Structure 1
Amino acid sequence: MPGARSARHDPCMSDTAEQEERAAPAGPEAPPAQDEPAEQRDGRSRERRVAALRGARRVLARPGFVTTLRERIALLDGAEELYDLDEPSDMYGNGVVEALEERTAALLGTEAAAFFPTGTMAQQVALRCWAGRTGNPVVALHGLGHPEQHERNAFSRVGGLHPVRLTDAPRPPTADEVRGFEEPFGALMLELPLREAGYLLPTWEELTEVVEAARERDAVVHFDGARLWECTVHFGRPLAEIAGLADSVYVSFYKSLKGYGGGALAGPRTLVEEAKAWRHRYGGQVFQQFPTALSALAGLERELPRLPSYVAHARVVAAALRASLAAAGLPWARVHPAVPHTHEFQVWLPCDPDAASEAALRQAEETGTMLFSQPWDAGGPGIALTEVSVGESGLEWTADDVRAAVADFAARLTA
């Protein structure tokens, strides 16, 4: 059944699949020996997948971290249109970093924002600051949320916080679960969208009800909005209205905006100023960050306006995938959610993950078309699951292109 991804990846790592792809060098792979250790075999598979993705002529999305350094540096071409390059360089968070913070706060409709090198740091700091205000270090969150899956228990080990799980179900938490939770909590953390469950979002009505339920319990609300930028289509609301439901919001500059890294914590000015002090204590007061800040400004200027078109086209791709998988005779194949909430979604197939991976890689290597570029995980016995992202390169794909690619993939899978 579609829902949470299998923990085939290391649950202690942050955005593990992305880290694996980024770390893997490109190059050909010799067939692995049958007695090869699993870790070495997985490493060879990663190398092969990255090489295939880099070499493919047609992909639905081409993540920045699998491109060359030259291509990444080119992201800053035209930076003079985004910021006056004759201004003094930044030092410990001033200059272009402050300009990025102001731009982010304006987009989200908050009083202020603070740049952070990582989301793990930003959200620990945010919730630590809220705990000091509420007097309650308990954070209610989803068991499939990023802190529980990818941060080595940092909330409790480093932040002095006490995370409690509202639910582990592969769907957003409900207002009834918030109201009925058996112990007090000072903050409710909501991941929008919930990646591990298929990039799921609640309806606008459900989201407002969950927020109201938290307020009834005198809890503050924090949005893990690393991918909040692409949620406007689903909610039918502007960014500022969505962010305005929460007391504080975290957004990423690299997940959807293709920046070099980092993110921002946005909220009331007093909270942000305290967060900056904690940022320094956590080691996040970096000497110079102008490349990252400029890349974030480039993402806000160039990539943010394109996200709605990616979301719309993801629905075209998903519909073609559903129809094509059924036509290929793959029983119980699923696209989840059936109509994507963002430009990313899951595909579930009734087969071994290694078989699905091999079919996807062979298709890319032999045809130059890579339909499925992400790793395949085990979704259960005899079930394989992967994620699909539709970006700029995916806009070129028609429904017929998807159908042809699925037919070729399915033939390799069942051969």
Structure 2
Amino acid sequence: MTESISFVESFKQTQYQVAGNGKRNMQVLKEVFEQVDGQQESDIYGNGQIIESFQEKMATYLGKESAVFFPSGTMAQQIALRIWCDEKGVKKVAYHPLSHLEIHEEDGLKELHHIDTVLLGDEAGLIGLEDVLNLDQEIACLLLELPQREIGGQLPDYKTIVEISEYCKANGIRLHLDGARLFEILPHYQKSAAEICGLFDSVYISFYKGIGGLAGAILAGDKEFTQQSKVWKRRHGGDLISLYPYILSSNYYFEKRISKMELYYENAIELAMLFNSCPSIQTKPTVPVSNMFHVHISQPKEQLEAVLKEVYYKTGVGLTSYLKETNQSTYSFEVSIGDQYNSIPKDKLDEVFQLLKVKLK
């Protein structure tokens, strides 16, 4: 039965999935518009109450003077780094070797803005204070991603961020936060968003990851910075005539899910413990520091897919739709906990991991 369908299809046919907030289908937007007065005026080219009130709300939440709504984080972050480079007259920034800007944006920062990059730290680890102290090149800005997604969502201790912030301030280096998953790390640090953002000159946050909105991002900082970002947003074509579907969904799902971040974090710790109880499986980090982690399984791919398909078929619970090769004998996948995890009956979850323990021996 399981042999006749693909691995992806076997996942799609499961009744429950451990990760995420549900399917990204039209219902995501329909649910939002059910709450909206159809006569409400839309935003027009970056102006209007609907966008301005949301920007003010986010600026307050992040503890910043001002905030600007962008259609994408890719656009927002390239613009932030361009502004800081222009301010200092130095076309060079530093970030982690596995930063989104380095591996997922087709060299946009270099090709569009002619900004050179310094890759700081080791791919498998986090940027530490020593890495910053040992910088031998002048840079305009240092970007820190919290959490560092490509290595399982790892985080530095809070003291390290404070020390890096103080060093940058003392040495005329702007500090930018790639906070795509900022909301998700607040429970671990036991800090408010404003406390964390207070250590950075500029901050980007996403509304489609843990929040589960349609799309969209906020870029926040002081008023002079955000005014410049609006000019660059226009230059990048980011001022669509109206962005209200993204703004409304960002606000709606922010209100719906921001209070659940602690639950997602606790659920991630619980699920990682279950994975780590199985032979051949290790999570990174071992104990998650946000709602996300990576699962590494030391098994041949064909054998592993067959095991997972059987688990999916017998339990109706899907763990992942893909396997990424990390080396010749290990495959991995990412888990980001949202609303779906709590919908899985506990006996079903127990059955999943009992089967895995037997099949992976």
- TM-score band by shorter chain is over 0.9
Q: How far off its partner does 1:133 sit?
A: 0.8
User: Root-mean-square deviation (CA), in Å?
Assistant: 2.2
- Equivalent position of 1:388 in the other structure: 335
Per the alignment, in what secondary structure is the counterpart of residue 52 of structure 2? Answer: helix
Comparing 53-62 and 150-159, the one that deviates more: 53-62
User: Would you say the 8 A contact 2:315–2:351 is kept in 1?
Assistant: no
Distance 1:229 1:62, change over 3 A: closer
Counterpart position of 1:23? none
Deviation sequence 1:355-397 (CA, Å, 0-9, x none): 3334323432443111x22421112121111112221121245
Q: Structure 1 residue 413: deviation in Å? A: 5.1
The one-letter code matched in structure 1 to 2:112 is: V
- Map 1:187-198; keep pairs closer than 5 Å: 187-198=141-152
Alignment partner of 1:352 is 2:300: yes
Question: Given the alignment of the two structures, is residue 123 of structure 1 paired with residue 77 of structure 2, yes or no?
Answer: yes
Residue 317 of structure 1 aligns with an amino acid whose one-letter code is L
What SS does the aligned partner of 2:203 have?
strand
Aligned equivalents of 1:202 and 1:186: distance in 2?
A: 22
Name the CA distance, whole Å, in 2 between partners of 1:171 and 1:30. Answer: 39
- 2:108: which partner in 1? 154
Paired residue type of 1:409: L
In the alignment, what sits opposite 2:40?
A: 87
CA contact (8 A) 2:176 2:201 kept: yes
Partners of 1:77 and 1:118 lie apart in 2 by 21
Alignment of 1:317-332 (within 5 A): 317-323=271-277, 325=278, 330-331=279-280
Tell me the equivalent position of 1:236: 190
Higher-RCO chain (CA-CA 8 Å, sequence separation at least 6): 2
Q: CA, structure 1 residues 283+79, in 2 after alignment: closer, same or farther (shift >3 Å)? A: same
Aligned-partner SS, 1:260: coil
Shift of 1:154: 1.0
Alignment of 1:243-282 (within 5 A): 243-282=197-236
Displacement of 1:407 in angstroms is: 2.4
From 80, 95, 98, give the equivalent of 1:141.
Answer: 95
SS in 2 for 1:56: coil
- Cα gap change, 1:355/1:105 in structure 2, threshold over 3 Å: closer, same or farther? farther
SS in 1 for 2:185: helix
Cα distance in 1 between the residues matched to 2:346 and 2:271: 6
TM-score, normalised by the number of residues in structure 2: 0.93
Q: What's the TM-score, normalizing by structure 1?
A: 0.81
1:378 alignment counterpart? 325
Question: Of 201, 221, 232, which aligns to 2:175?
Answer: 221
Aligned to 2:311: 363
Match of 2:13 in 1: 55
| Cα shift at 1:63 | 4.6
Q: Relative to 1, partners in 2 of residues 1:67 and 1:263: Cα closer, same or farther, differing over 3 Å?
A: closer
Whether the 8 Å contact between 2:21 and 2:340 is mirrored in structure 1 is no
Opposite residue 14 of structure 2, the aligned amino acid is A
Structure 1 unaligned regions, length at least 5: 1-27, 33-44
C-alpha distance 342-228 of structure 1, shift in aligned 2 (>3 A):
same
Q: Deviations over 1:90-118 (max 9, x none)?
A: 21122312222112111101111111111
Q: Is the 8 A contact 2:315 2:352 kept in 1?
A: no
Which secondary structure does the structure 2 equivalent of 1:79 belong to? coil
Which residue of 1 is the match for residue 289 of structure 2?
A: 341
Q: Secondary structure at the match of 1:147?
A: helix
Q: Which residue in the other structure is 1:298 paired with? A: 252
Residue in 1 aligned with 2:25?
Answer: 68
Contact preservation (8 Å) 2:317, 2:348 = no
Do 2:212 and 2:253's aligned partners in 1 also have CA atoms closer than 8 Å? yes
Q: CA, structure 1 residues 104+151, in 2 after alignment: closer, same or farther (shift >3 Å)?
A: same
Secondary structure of the residue aligned to 2:326 is strand
Going from structure 1 to structure 2, the CA distance change for 1:385 and 1:155 (only over 3 Å counts) comes to same
What SS is found at the alignment partner of 1:113? strand
Query: What count of residue pairs does the alignment treat as equivalent?
Result: 360
Instruction: Give 5+ residue unaligned stretches, structure 2.
Output: none
Offset of residue 30 of structure 1: 8.7
Q: Tell whether the 8 Å contact from 1:317 to 1:402 is kept in structure 2 after alignment.
A: no
Residue range with higher mean Cα deviation, 138-147 or 404-413? 404-413
Cα distance, 1:360–1:220 mapped onto 2, change above 3 Å: same
Q: Taking structure 1 as reference, are residues 74 and 128 closer, same or farther at Cα in structure 2, changes over 3 Å only?
A: same
TM-superposed CA distance for 1:124, in Å, is: 0.5
Whole-Å Cα distance in 2 between the matches of residues 267 and 146 of structure 1? 21
